[in-house]
Amino acid sequence: MPSLKPLAIAATGLFALTSASAAEIVQKVKPPVSQAYIDLATFNGGAPMAPAGGMGGMLGGLFGGGKSNDRGNSFGQTQGQAQGRWMDVTLLTRHNKELKTATQSVPSGSKLAPTLNLLAPEPTKVVAESHVASEGPGEFQMPKGKMYLYWGCGTEVRKGQPLVIDFARMDPKQMNQFFQNRNAMFRVPEPAPGRPVWPNKKDDRMLPEGASMAGEHTFAGEGVVDGFKFNIDAAHDLMPAVEATRSDDARGVLFKWKPMQQATGWFVQAMGMRDSAAAGNGDMEMVYWTSSELPDMGMGLVNYQPDSSIAKWQKEKVILPASTSECAAPKEAVSAMAMSRVIAYGDELNMAYPPRPKDPRIDWEPQWEVKVRRKSVASLTPGMGSMMGAAMAGHADDEDKAPAPRQALAQPQREQQQPQPDKPASSAAVEAIKSSAFDLFKNVLQRKAEDALSR
């Protein structure tokens, strides 16, 4: 009887070759003809909407905020911190690169039905360069002071903390350790000619109180594919407001929040000054703390993040599990005047037509694609009332132009034992903000860090 061994070897080799060939098959994917992005955001406890350039815009810029508007709603508020519920919509199509207007049919529950009117901005006029010599900006004077970073839930300061940046030294190794900012957020295309958005200058309606985006939506416009129709289910609607509290005692600071069924994870960040009076004199000590178990300033994490990144960072204990409802911080890490944020992440809703074929040998040519992102953020800022009042006093002339108040969200009850700063400290903090103390991190230190690390 002939040996079966050569036959077995041949069969094994053939199987391996077939497996390798199958593994090499890469599905061809073409970009969708028409695409839409819908960002939904809920902010609670943030600064009220204010005229551009006012304190509201300044505080929004502090945490990477969006734009202010002195009339009604404006695109980009989902990236701001103004209290309320917001939606940004962006539409583009490969069949019409000069698309100016479009419509989005929305469900009756939105209280904006039957349609939203999308509008693309006009092309920017090119201004001839001036040959007048300019003196340019003066030399930047680095302030005196330090920045401290703490992390992790618990009232005890952990070994190896805090990380410290000394403005006088600006050591590259220090900065490489300090400036940890995880962020995998997909950047939605900005409004541009050929890319209509909502809201806009012709349709700047606010989201009415109790508005719901759950239901059928349809996009239409010249060059937009027919049948661009989809449903947002109730599970991917606007998220409720985060109801969070902060309480201080001799041991530390406790952040607590009401559980939320829609949340896939949580993250807490606090940022403040140890001595606001000294900061007003240019000698500041900035203190950051986050709920992450790994060093991270949190500047990128308090925003939309992909589902895959949230899952990854939860395994690394950077983002708190969805079941979490509190996190404590050491007393040294969160000052009485610290601005704190608690974010609840919502999962994305991604839809396309036709659906992606499971067989990789079949090309995928989607006609349309839509991405819906959601988040809900609570801001807890002791003393903000007096700070806002003092800063906005200089804008009294703009009151007649101020928009109608946003819908009120449920305001979390602050703990009675929370320390209240005295008036001089609040005034000094206002002056510190006016002198761009907070903007220092975003604009100057970041550039200096990049320069130092590139050497």
For the segment 190-225, what is each residue's pLDDT rounded down to a tens digit? 999 999 999 999 999 999 999 999 999 999 999 999
Higher pLDDT residue, 430 or 90? 90
pLDDT mean across residues, the chain:
78
Question: What is the share, in percent, of the chain residues with pLDDT greater than 90?
Answer: 58
pLDDT of residue 23 exceeding 90, the answer is no
CA 309 to each of CA 78, 263, 265, 318, 350: distance values in angstroms, whole numbers, following the listed order = 20, 15, 11, 10, 15
pLDDT of residue 364: 96
For 108-121, letters b (16+ CB in 10 Å) and e give eebebeeebebbbb
The alpha carbon of 5 is separated from its chain's Cα centroid by a whole number of angstroms, namely 62
Q: In this structure, what token pair is assigned to residue 411?
A: 């305001």
Q: How far is CA 263 from CA 237, 329, 343, 350, 410, in A?
A: 12, 22, 9, 17, 18
Average pLDDT, integer, range 282-288: 83
pLDDT for 306-357, tens place per residue?
999 999 999 999 999 999 999 999 999 998 889 999 999 999 999 999 999 9
The band of 56, judged by pLDDT with boundaries at 50, 70 and 90, is very low
426: Cα separation from own chain's centroid: 27
Residue 192's DSSP bridge partners are 195
- Whether the CB-CB separation of 38 and 87 falls below 8 Å is answered with yes
Helix axes 55-62, 423-434, angle to 10 degrees: 80
| Whether pLDDT at 79 is above 50 | yes
pLDDT exceeds cutoff 50 at 389:
no
Q: Which of the residue ranges 24-33, 48-57, 173-182, 422-431 has the most confident prediction, judged by mean pLDDT? A: 24-33
**Range of weakest confidence among 35-44, 167-176, 249-258:** 167-176
Q: Identify any residues that bridge with 437 across adjacent strands, giving them in sequence order.
A: none
How many angstroms from the chain centroid is the CA of residue 88? Answer: 13
55-62 vs 384-392: helix crossing angle, rounded to 10: 130
- Tell me which H or E stretch contains 446: helix 446-453
Query: Could you tell me which of 329, 384, 341 has the C-alpha nearest to residue 149?
Result: 329
Residue 315: CB partners within 8 Å, gap ≥ 6?
none
DSSP helix/strand/coil, 442: helix
- In angstroms, the first-to-last Cα distance of the chain is 74
d(CA 92, CA 194): 7
Alpha-carbon distance of 326 to 316, in angstroms, equals 18
> Which residue's structure tokens are 């989809």?
230
